[in-house]
Structure 1
Amino acid sequence: MYRVLIVDDMEIMRKLMRRMKFWGSVSGFELVAEAENGADALQVLQEQAIDVVITDIRMPKVDGLELLQQITTLQLCRYVILVSEHSDFEYARKGIQYGAYDYLVKPVNEANLQSVLLKIEQDIPVQNVNNNNQFERQVQTIQTYLKQGKGTEAIAVFTHILDDLRESDKFQHNINISTKKLYGIYKDLASYFLEHFPWLSTITTINRYSEIMDSINWQQDMDKSTFNYCENVVSDYIKEMAIIIEHFQYTTGHNPVIQETVAYILSHIDEEINVAQIAGSVHVNISYLSNLFRQKTKMTIKRFILRVKIERAKILLLENKLKNYEIAERLGYKDYEYFAKVFKKHTGQTLTEFRQDLKKIGE
Structure 2
Amino acid sequence: MYKVMIVDDRDIIRTEIKRLKIWGAASGFSISQEAQNGQEALGKLEHNPVDMVITDIKMPKIDGLELLRAIVERNLCSCVVLVSDFSEFEFARQGIILGAFDYIPKPIDANELSCLLTRAKSFLDNKSLEKERIKKLEESQKDTELRLSGDEITVLTSLIRRGDEKSLLGIEQMMERIFENSNKNELIRNAGLLKNSIYDVIKELKKAFPFLDLYINPAIYNGFDDVKNRSLTTLKNTYMEKIENLSTLINLLRLDLQEKGIVKQVCNYILINIDKNITLSIVADRLYMNKTYISESFKQKIGISFTEYVTLVKMERAKVLILKDNLKTYEIAEKLGYKDAEYFSKVFKKVIGLTPTTFRLNHEGN
The TM-score normalised by the length of structure 1 is 0.51
- Which residue does 1:24 correspond to in 2? none
Which residue of 195, 208, 215 corresponds with 2:219? Answer: 208
Structure 2 residue 202 is matched with structure 1 residue 197: no
Q: SS state of the match for residue 143, structure 1?
A: helix
Residue deviations 1:78-111 (CA, integer Å, cap 9, x gap): xxxxxxxxxxxxxxxxxxxxxxxxxxxxxxxxxx
Instruction: Tell me the distance in 1 between the aligned counterparts of 2:328 and 2:228.
Output: 43
Indicate the RMSD between aligned Cα atoms, in angstroms: 3.5
Instruction: Using the TM superposition, give the Cα deviation of residue 290 of structure 1 relative to its aligned residue in structure 2, in angstroms.
Output: 0.9
Structure 2 residue 300 is matched with structure 1 residue 286: no
- Judged with a 3 Å threshold, the aligned counterparts in structure 2 of structure 1 residues 244 and 151 are, in CA distance, closer, same or farther, namely farther
Unaligned ranges ≥5, structure 1: 1-131, 217-221
| Native 8 Å contact 2:184 2:231 kept in 1 | no
Q: Which residue identity is paired with 2:311?
A: L
| Native 8 Å contact 1:271 1:332 kept in 2 | yes
Instruction: Tell me the distance in 2 between the aligned counterparts of 1:135 and 1:146.
Output: 16
Instruction: Using the TM superposition, give the Cα deviation of residue 345 of structure 1 relative to its aligned residue in structure 2, in angstroms.
Output: 2.4
Instruction: Tell me the distance in 1 between the aligned counterparts of 2:192 and 2:245.
Output: 21
Residue deviations 1:169-205 (CA, integer Å, cap 9, x gap): 4x36994875665455334313213322343332331
Identity rate of aligned residues, in percent? 26
- Judged with a 3 Å threshold, the aligned counterparts in structure 2 of structure 1 residues 270 and 173 are, in CA distance, closer, same or farther, namely closer
| Structure-to-structure mapping, 1:1-363, within 5 angstroms | 136-147=150-161, 149-167=162-180, 169=181, 171=182, 175=186, 181-183=193-195, 185-205=197-217, 207-210=218-221, 231-280=236-285, 282-319=287-324, 321-359=326-364, 361-362=365-366
Instruction: Using the TM superposition, give the Cα deviation of residue 155 of structure 1 relative to its aligned residue in structure 2, in angstroms.
Output: 2.2
The TM-score normalised by the length of structure 2 is 0.50
| Native 8 Å contact 1:261 1:278 kept in 2 | yes
Instruction: Using the TM superposition, give the Cα deviation of residue 265 of structure 1 relative to its aligned residue in structure 2, in angstroms.
Output: 1.2
Instruction: Using the TM superposition, give the Cα deviation of residue 245 of structure 1 relative to its aligned residue in structure 2, in angstroms.
Output: 0.4
| Native 8 Å contact 2:198 2:221 kept in 1 | no
Residue deviations 1:111-163 (CA, integer Å, cap 9, x gap): xxxxxxxxxxxxxxxxxxxxx9x96544323322444x435444222101121
Q: Which residue identity is paired with 1:312?
A: R
Residues matched between the structures, number: 220
Larger Rg: 1
Q: SS state of the match for residue 199, structure 1?
A: helix
Q: Which residue identity is paired with 1:139?
A: I
Instruction: Tell me the distance in 1 between the aligned counterparts of 2:230 and 2:336.
Output: 41
Instruction: Using the TM superposition, give the Cα deviation of residue 238 of structure 1 relative to its aligned residue in structure 2, in angstroms.
Output: 1.6
| Native 8 Å contact 1:270 1:332 kept in 2 | yes
